[in-house]
Amino acid sequence: MIDENTKKQLIQEALEARRKAYVPYSKYPVGAALLCKSGKVYQGANIENAAFPVTVCAERVAIFKAVSEGDMGLDTIAVVTKNGGTPCGSCRQVMAEFNPELIVIIADEQGEIKQETTLKEILPGYFGPASLVE
């Protein structure tokens, strides 16, 4: 796992990202801060849309920002919600695409860590690139 200072930094960045969420429908802002192996941190906030299926979660925003910058060495992601809610299935699947060993830190809006785990623990039996090998 990662050191306490890094955890605190990621949670603070996720809290900052959460303030930028666009959530006029659910009123459930989520912030994410993704640490890549390069040392760079990418923030993401959930962005809702009146056509609900096109809403994008904070975790995927952060991951897509990193990948679009060519930074695919995902290491740790901190996710902050009001009550310490965990990433949805779609976000877990996107995480699995890039690092099934990804460290996932879940915190509430006070910055209190509710859970620290790995993606493989919260998405056992994931479908990944190796699943497509004949």
Domain membership flag for residue 79: yes
In a domain, 86, yes or no: yes
Q: pLDDT tens for residues 18-51?
A: 999 999 999 999 999 999 999 999 999 999 999 9
In a domain, 69, yes or no: yes
Q: What is the pLDDT of residue 58?
A: 98
Q: What angle do CA 59, 105, 82 make, to 5 degrees?
A: 70
Confidence of residue 5 (pLDDT cuts 50, 70, 90): very high
For helices 58-68 and 4-18, the axis angle rounded to 10 degrees is 110
Burial class (CB in 10 A: 0-12, 13-18, 19+), 129: exposed
Q: Which domain holds residue 64?
A: 4-123
Whether residue 119 lies inside any domain: the answer is yes
pLDDT for position 83: 97
Residue range 69-89, pLDDT digits in tens: 999 999 999 999 999 999 999
Residue 134: inside a domain, yes or no?
Answer: no
Q: Is 81 domain-assigned?
A: yes
The predicted structure's pLDDT at residue 130: 85
Predicted confidence band of residue 129 (pLDDT cuts 50, 70, 90): confident
The domain that contains 40 carries what CATH number? 3.40.140.10
Q: Please give the average per-residue pLDDT across 116-133, as a whole number.
A: 92
Is 1 a residue whose pLDDT tops 80? no
Q: How confident is the model at residue 128 (pLDDT cuts 50, 70, 90)?
A: confident
Residue 128 lies in a domain: no
Q: With respect to residue 29, please indicate whether it lies within any of the assigned structural domains.
A: yes
Give the residue numbers marked as catalytic. 59
